[in-house]
């Protein structure tokens, strides 16, 4: 599965213009972790009732997501919905609002709602103190009806907040996966990414996670940091591998508007930076494959032989998502919805303050979102399936939509094939990216965006 680790973009990473001349395709366009992106959402008028939105939805295998919009520091690359710190009383007020929202949403879901998986994200959920994490778990269990002791529960954490008492709460309440945002074990690189931390503190946090006994440890690392070399990247990888993590995520660095790095001017020389990131990606991928890991997606690698936690069969393409918290999104088959979205710190603080002041009745209706047409549902299913290393079974797509992807997306799939991004040796009936296609996942995904979503994202005013 390994390919060349040369730093130039290969001919497999080029496209063809209408005039027949080869044009380079930028490999790092957009990380597609959800579709449509929140910047395509718009205020809903009138605001639809959640009870009506969920009335006809299948609810026997839902995903529950609780969002905590607080961090001890905001990294230079971060464009997540989060604020730094919390004035006295704000966390308590936020959890109060989360309880009001949970009660209202649970009532709107009606009978038969069952959660197959749960996650706490942010922000940094472990920004909450141990007693506050207990309360967060109680919201999921007592108010939403999620059995955290029986379903997979993933929690995001930072080294500074992965304290023994917090980890003990999570382990006792059923956390099956702890994702630690390390990004780099090289102190100079961490500073370059505007993430002040020392390797010694990171190693101590990893020791506490292992001591807590949470079954799956994931370590996040970033490549493409200013000053990073193949040698320093390998040192970070080997430092992570020393802890035998069940999972590793390798993220390419992005410099986005309104972030710390974005305000500093970001990275110079796009083509050179693209080549560097591709070179580091290939080097990291090949090293992990050699060390007994299997590739799940462009970003995710899982150690071979890792016992399952029960969530492996969850399908993000088809199952509903119920999100609680001001930065969470929810998915029904007809509508994706959330609260307002921002990156600027002042705007985020205003949205959080608005959220904490809302009465329970105000959580009974969706506020910001985007309707899912039949075409958008096809696009979402295809891109979220094909961006997985195992690919997509065409029969499953056909059973859901009554058509073949080759009929629905002939031009896109033809371009992918021409560029060498589709695996010609995939099993019959499986549409799968080649290793080079996986390397270009952040170009594959955006090419499947609809014209309407592209236009909405382009028209979005950053705030």
CATH for 281 = 3.20.20.70
Domain identity same for 85 and 214: yes
Q: Which one of 254, 274, 303 terminates a domain?
A: 303
- pLDDT for 79: 55
- pLDDT for 73: 65
Residue 431's nearest CA partner among 392, 401, 374 is 392
Residue 107 has pLDDT above 60, yes or no: yes
- pLDDT for 315: 53
Q: Residue 364 falls within a domain, yes or no?
A: no
Residue 264 has pLDDT above 50, yes or no: no
Domain identity same for 187 and 271: yes
Domain identity same for 95 and 25: no
Is 359:43 a contact under the CB 8 Å cutoff?
Answer: no
Distances (CA, A) of 426 to 284, 420, 435: 24, 13, 12
CATH of the domain at 440: 1.10.10.920
Q: Residue 256 falls within a domain, yes or no?
A: yes
Domain identity same for 196 and 260: yes
- pLDDT for 75: 52
Distances (CA, A) of 379 to 39, 200, 383, 388, 418: 17, 44, 6, 15, 20
Task: Give the single-character DSSP code of 72.
Answer: S
Q: Residue 6 falls within a domain, yes or no?
A: no
Task: Give the single-character DSSP code of 397.
Answer: H
Task: Mention every residue, 6+ apart, whose C-beta is less than 8 A from residue 217.
Answer: 177, 178, 180, 206, 209, 210, 243, 245, 246, 247
| pLDDT level of residue 32 (50, 70, 90 thresholds) | confident
The span from the CA of 223 to the CA of 279, in Å, is 10
Q: Which one of 253, 288, 303 terminates a domain?
A: 303
Residue 330's nearest CA partner among 279, 372, 281, 277 is 372
Q: Residue 333 falls within a domain, yes or no?
A: no
Is 25:7 a contact under the CB 8 Å cutoff?
Answer: no
Domain identity same for 29 and 54: no
Is 64:140 a contact under the CB 8 Å cutoff?
Answer: yes
- pLDDT for 307: 77
pLDDT tens digits along 45-66 = 999 999 999 999 999 999 999 9
- pLDDT for 463: 76
| pLDDT level of residue 7 (50, 70, 90 thresholds) | very low
Q: Residue 132 falls within a domain, yes or no?
A: yes
Domain identity same for 193 and 244: yes
Question: Burial of 288 by CB count in 10 Å (0-12 exposed, 13-18 middle, 19+ buried)?
Answer: buried
- pLDDT for 196: 77
- pLDDT for 1: 30
- pLDDT for 265: 47
Domain identity same for 64 and 184: yes
Q: Which one of 241, 270, 303 terminates a domain?
A: 303
Domain identity same for 99 and 136: yes
| pLDDT level of residue 84 (50, 70, 90 thresholds) | confident
Domain identity same for 27 and 84: no
Task: Work out how many domains the chain is built from and give that number.
Answer: 2
Residue 19 has pLDDT above 80, yes or no: no
Q: Residue 235 falls within a domain, yes or no?
A: yes
Domain identity same for 292 and 389: no
Q: Residue 11 falls within a domain, yes or no?
A: no
Range of the domain at 409: 16-36+373-459
Domain identity same for 224 and 80: yes
The span from the CA of 456 to the CA of 458, in Å, is 5
Q: Residue 450 falls within a domain, yes or no?
A: yes
Domain identity same for 132 and 209: yes
The span from the CA of 207 to the CA of 33, in Å, is 29
- pLDDT for 178: 97
What is this structure's pTM? 0.90
Instruction: Find the radius of gyration of the CA atoms of the chain.
Output: 22
Distances (CA, A) of 210 to 129, 165, 176, 300, 434: 19, 13, 12, 20, 35
């Amino acid at each position: 599965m390994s390919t060349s680790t040369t730093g130039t973009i290969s001919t497999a990473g080029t496209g063809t213009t209408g005039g027949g001349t080869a044009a380079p395709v930028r490999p790092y366009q957009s990380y597609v972790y959800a579709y449509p992106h929140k910047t395509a959402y718009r205020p809903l008028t009138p605001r639809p009732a959640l009870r009506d939105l969920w009335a006809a939805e299948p609810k026997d295998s839902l995903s529950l997501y609780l969002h905590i919009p607080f961090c001890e520091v905001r990294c230079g690359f971060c464009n997540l919905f989060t604020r730094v710190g919390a004035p006295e009383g704000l966390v308590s007020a936020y959890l109060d609002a989360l309880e009001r929202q949970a009660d209202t949403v649970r009532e709107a879901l009606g009978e038969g709602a069952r959660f197959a998986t749960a996650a706490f994200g942010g922000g940094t959920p472990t920004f909450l103190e141990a007693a506050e994490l207990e309360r967060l778990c109680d919201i999921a269990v007592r108010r939403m009806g999620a059995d955290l002791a029986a379903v997979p529960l993933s929690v995001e954490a930072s080294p500074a907040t992965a304290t023994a008492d917090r980890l003990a709460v999570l382990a006792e309440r059923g956390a099956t996966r702890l994702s630690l945002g390390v990004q780099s074990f090289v102190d100079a690189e961490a500073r370059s990414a505007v993430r002040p931390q020392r390797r010694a503190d990171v190693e101590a946090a990893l020791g506490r996670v292992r001591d807590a006994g949470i079954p799956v440890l994931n370590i996040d690392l970033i490549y493409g940091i200013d000053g990073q070399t193949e040698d320093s990247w390998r040192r970070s990888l080997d430092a992570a591998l020393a802890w035998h993590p069940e999972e590793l995520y390798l993220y390419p660095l992005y410099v986005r508007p309104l972030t710390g790095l974005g305000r500093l001017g970001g990275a110079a020389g796009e083509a050179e930076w693209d080549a560097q990131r591709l070179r580091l990606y290939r080097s990291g991928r090949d090293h992990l494959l050699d060390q007994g890991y299997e590739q799940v997606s462009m970003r995710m690698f899982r150690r071979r032989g890792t016992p399952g936690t029960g969530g492996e069969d969850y399908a993000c393409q088809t199952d509903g998502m119920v999100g609680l918290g001001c930065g969470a999104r929810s998915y029904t088959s007809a509508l994706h919805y959330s609260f307002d979205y921002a990156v600027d710190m002042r705007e985020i603080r205003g949205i959080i303050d608005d959220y904490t002041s809302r009465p329970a009745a105000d959580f009974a209706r969706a506020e910001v979102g985007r309707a899912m047409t039949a075409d958008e549902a096809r696009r979402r299913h295809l891109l979220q399936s094909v961006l997985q290393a195992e690919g997509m079974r065409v029969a499953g797509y056909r059973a859901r939509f009554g058509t073949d992807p080759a009929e629905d997306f002939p031009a896109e799939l033809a371009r992918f094939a021409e560029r060498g991004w589709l695996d010609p040796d995939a099993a019959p009936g499986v549409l799968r990216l080649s290793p080079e296609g996986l390397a270009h996942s952040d170009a594959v995904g955006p090419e499947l965006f609809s014209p309407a979503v592209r236009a909405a994202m382009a028209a979005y005013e950053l705030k």
